[in-house]
Amino acid sequence: MQNQSININYQEFSSIDELNAEDRELACAAIEGMKGSYAPYSHFNVGAAVRMSNGQIVRGANQENAAFPSGLCAERTAMFAAGAKYPDKDMQSIAVAGGVYGRITDEPATPCGACRQVMAQYQAKSGKPMSVIMVGGKKIWKFEKVDDILPLIFDSI
Ligand code: THU
């Protein structure tokens, strides 16, 4: 038996102003995207934004439903819209932000497991790393690739 470990590296920023111009634009789009949230049950408004290889940004927001499993997270809403709109382009980066009643949380918004799995799929489709930016009001985390937030990825059978 051998003990093993997995090391995850990421960058932490204390303000959106510290991000490079592209990431700042994407983070702001995710925050703006929160306005598209329909969350009458949780009142937790989440916005996401995907940067495509053609420079376009596609936004998404969580959409809830009285039949709970029928709703969808902001990240998947954004990725599925991006995939449908630009099927031949790569998803280079995704940003996510969230907050109760539209007020952004201080801590970064962290994607659920199902959204991470969908990110993994689009990253594998493109064959290039897809960075993930988790935005909070007082802290922002940037991960260079989906593997960093979903170690030991299941990517095909
Ligand atoms: N939600 C997201 O949109 N993204 C996540 O990664 C986690 C959760 C949404 C789903 C639901 O509408 C609300 O947040 C509360 O869970």
pLDDT score for 108? 98
pLDDT at 156 over 80: no
CA dist 48 → 8, 25, 70, 134, 141 (Å): 23, 12, 19, 9, 14
CA pair distance 150, 111, nearest whole angstrom = 10
Mean pLDDT of the chain: 97
Class of CATH domain 17-148 = alpha beta
Residues sharing a CB contact under 8 Å with residue 17, sequence separation 6 or more, in sequence order: 24
pLDDT at 60 over 70: yes
Over range 109-120, report the average pLDDT.
97
Task: State which of 107, 110, 112 you would mutate to test the pocket of ligand 1, scoring each by most atoms of that ligand within 8 A of its C-beta.
Answer: 112
CA pair distance 104, 121, nearest whole angstrom = 28
Q: Tell how far the Cα of 3 is from the centroid of ligand 1, in angstroms.
A: 35
Beta strands 91-100 and 44-52 are antiparallel
State the catalytic residues. 75
